[in-house]
Structure 1
Amino acid sequence: MKLVRAEYQELTKYMEHLRPTRQCMKMLKEKFSSQSQSTLLSIFSQEYQKRIKRSHARHHTAEAIENYYQSLSFLRYLSEVRKNLTAPVLLELANEVDFSPSLMARMVLERYLQELEGTPPSKPVLNSMLREPSLIPDRFLANQVYQCTINDCCYGPLVDCIKHAIGQEHEILLRDMLRERNLSFLDENQLRAKGYDKPDIILEVPIAVEGHVVHWIESKASFGDEYSHRSYLHDQFWSYWNRFGPGLVIYWHGFIEELDCHRERGILLKDCFPLDIVTLCHSSSQS
C-alpha cells in the first residue's frame, strides 16, 4: 500500500512512544484499521530500530550493562519473584529503560557468561544460547532470555528468522508470477553463479511497465520509507541501473508515494506485482 508522506508521518508520530510488544501491534491495527498488519509492523519495526540506534550507545556502556546485570541479580531474590519464577523481570526492566528486550537479554547474557567463564563468550556461543535459551546453565536467566526474545517484535533471533522467511516467500512469489506470464529470467542463484550477487531478478528479455522499460526486478519484503529507500538507492539500485539499465523495485509492504520520483531516470517503484506488463511479443504484434 502506498502512503502519501503526510499519512506516513501521522503513523510514525503515533508510534513514537510505543514498545515492541504484541499489544502495541493490536493498538496500531485498531487505530489505523485501513492499513494492513504487515505494513504497520514493517513501519513500526523500522521506526523502532531508528529509535534504538539513537540510544544504543547509552545502554551499551560498561557501566550501564553492569547496572542492568546487578539489577536483575537483585530483583530475582525479591519475594514475589521467588514465588513466581516465570515473572518477566528482565522484560520489565527493558521496558522501564525503553530498550529492546532482545538486545537487553543479549547484553545481560554476555555479562553472565563472562563472569561464569572468566572471558567474554564467543559470538557463536552467545548466538546459540539466544536461539536456544535452554542451553543457558542458569534456569532463571534462561527463562528471562526466552521471555525477552518472544516478546520483542523488532529484534532477536526469532524476528530474524521470520524476516528471512518472509523475504524468501516473496522472492518465490515473484518467480512464480514471472513464470505464470512466461517471462524468461535469471534469479539470484543463477546470477551468483555468473558472479553477480544482486539484483533478485534479471529479465532475459526486457518488459515495459506503465510505459517504462524494465530490465531487472528487486523484491523488498518491507515498507519503503525515506531512510531505507535512500540507502538502497545508494548501495544497490543505482549500481543495478549502471550495470543492467532501468529496473523495477517492489516494496511488498508499501512505500511513501513521493519516493517514486526516479521513473524517468530508470527506477520504478511498485507495491505489488505489475498487472499491465507489455512484452516484446505484444509490442511486435501490435505494430
Structure 2
Amino acid sequence: MKLTVYNEIVQMMHTYKSRDSLPLIAEKFPGVSVNALGSIFSQDYQKKMRKTHYIHYSSDATSHYYDRFALGMQAGEKNILIGMSDELDLSPALLGRIILERHLSATKYEGELPPKSVVTQYMKEPSLIEDPQLAIEIHQCILGDDHYGPLCDSIKHSIGHEYEFKLNHILDRLGLAYIGEDQMRAKGYDKTPDVKLEVPIAVDGRVVNWIESKASFGDEHSHKGYLKEQFWSYWNRFGPGMVIYWFGFIDELDVNQDKGIILRDHFPDHIVKMDPSIK
C-alpha cells in the first residue's frame, strides 16, 4: 500500500471516528482487505490513546472522573463508565483502569496508588473486585473495548498464533526444515524470530535465514519499533531475513532489502531452495 493511500484511509477514519465505518471505507478502497483496515484502525486508535494518556491521567482529571463515577453509583445509574468513555473519547478499558486505581487507593491503600500488578490482575479478572457494581462496570469496559486493554491483548495474541500456525503449515508443505522460538530459547537466544530456517532460502535473489510473522498492518510507527526492538537483533544473530505483515504494509517502508531485511504481505509464491549438500 502506498503511503498516500494509507494517509487517505486514516483521514477517513478520523472523519468517521468509529469502527462501524470500515465497510464504507472498504467500498472506497476495494483493494484493501477488511483485516488491513481493522488493523490500521486499531493502531491509529492506540496511538491516539498514547498521545492523550497524560491528559487523562493527571491528578485533576482522575479525581474528576472518579467523582463523576461515584455520583452516578450513588444515583443508581447503570453503564456509567461506557457512557463516560464516549463523552471523553477515551478508551473504555483505560477509563476503567483509572477508576479502579482510584477506588483501590481510597478503599485499600490509604490514599496511595495500588501496585500496577494488582490493578492489572483485577482488570484481567473483574470478578475479584469486591464491590459488585464496580466489578460489573469494569467488566463492561473490558468487553466494550476491542482496541485497548485486556480484550485487545487477547485478540492480538490469538490472531498472532493463528498466523504463526499458517506460516508453519506453509513451511511444512514446502518441506523446509526450521526451528521455532521455543527451540531457539532452549539454545540460549534471548531475541528470537518466529522461525529460523535450518537451510536458507532465496526470495527474489535475496537470502532469507529467518522469518518473522506479524498478524497486523505494517505502519511507520509499529515498523520503526519492531526494527529497533526485534528485526535488527535477528539480523545481528542470524543474518538476513524476511518479515511477513499478513495484513499489508506501507510500501515505502521496505527500504532495508539491501541491508538484509525484506518485507512481504504473504509467503512468496516463488522461492529458491538452497542445496544443503553444497559446501
Task: Give the TM-score, by structure 2 length.
Answer: 0.91
Contact 1:29 1:40 in 2 (8 A): no
Matches within 5 A, 1:163-174: 163-174=156-167
Residue 112 of structure 1 is aligned with which of 58, 79, 103? 103
**Within 2, Cα distance between the matches of 1:101 and 1:149?**
7
Distance of 2:236 and 2:276 partners within structure 1: 27
SS in 1 for 2:268: coil
Q: For 2:277 and 2:87, locate their aligned partners in 1 and report how far apart those are by CA, in whole Å.
A: 61
SS in 1 for 2:269: coil
SS of equivalent residue, structure 2 residue 171: helix
Q: Does 1:36 align with 2:26?
A: no
> What is the alpha-carbon distance in structure 1 between the residues aligned to residue 58 and residue 114 of structure 2?
18
In structure 1, the gaps of 5 or more residues are: none
- What displacement does 1:235 show? 2.2
Question: Matches of 2:117 and 2:80 in 1, distance apart?
Answer: 26
The alpha carbon displacement at 1:18 in A equals 5.4
Is 1:95 equivalent to 2:86 in the alignment?
yes
For 2:158, the aligned partner's letter is: A
SS of aligned partner of 1:265: coil
> Cα deviation per residue 1:92-140 (whole Å; 9 max; x = unaligned)?
2122122111010001011111111134433343223212223222222
Q: Deviations over 1:2-25 (max 9, x none)?
A: x11111001111222655xxxx22
- Which position in structure 2 is the counterpart of 1:275? 269
One-letter amino acid matched to 1:228: S
Task: Point out where structure 2 has 5 or more consecutive residues left out of the alignment.
Answer: none
Number of residues of Structure 1 aligned to a counterpart in Structure 2 = 272
**What's the counterpart of residue 73 of structure 2?**
76
Q: In the aligned structure 1, how far is the partner of 2:97 from the partner of 2:60? A: 16
SS in 2 for 1:269: strand
| Backbone CA RMSD of aligned residues | 2.0
Match of 2:132 among 124, 133, 139: 139
CA displacement, residues 175-228 of structure 1 (integer Å, 9 cap, x when unaligned): 121111110111111110111131111111110112211111111111100111
Q: For residue 76 of structure 1, give the secondary structure of its aligned residue in structure 2.
A: helix
Correspondent of 1:226 among 220, 223, 239: 220
Task: Tell me the percent identity.
Answer: 46
Aligned to 1:159: 152
Alpha-carbon spacing, 1:118–1:204, altered in 2? closer, same or farther (3 Å): closer
Q: Take 2:256 and 2:268, find their aligned partners in 1: how far apart are those partners?
A: 17
In 2, distance between residues paired with 1:207 and 1:123? 45
Pairing 1:1-287 to 2, within 5 Å after superposition: 3-16=1-14, 24-33=18-27, 34=30, 35-78=32-75, 82=76, 87-119=78-110, 120-196=113-189, 197-281=191-275
User: Counterpart of 2:225 in structure 1: which amino acid?
Assistant: S
Greater relative contact order (CA < 8 Å, ≥ 6 in sequence) = 1
Deviation at 1:29, TM superposition (A): 2.1
TM-score (norm 1): 0.88
Q: Distance in 2 between matches of 1:146 and 1:181?
A: 45
Give the C-alpha shift of residue 281 in structure 1.
4.0
Contact 2:13–2:21 under 8 Å retained in 1: no
Offset, 1:59: 0.7
Task: Give me the whole-angstrom Cα distance separating, in 1, the residues matched to 2:181 and 2:125.
Answer: 31
**Which moved further from structure 2: 96-105 or 9-18?**
9-18
CA shift in 2, pair 1:241/1:76, >3 Å? same
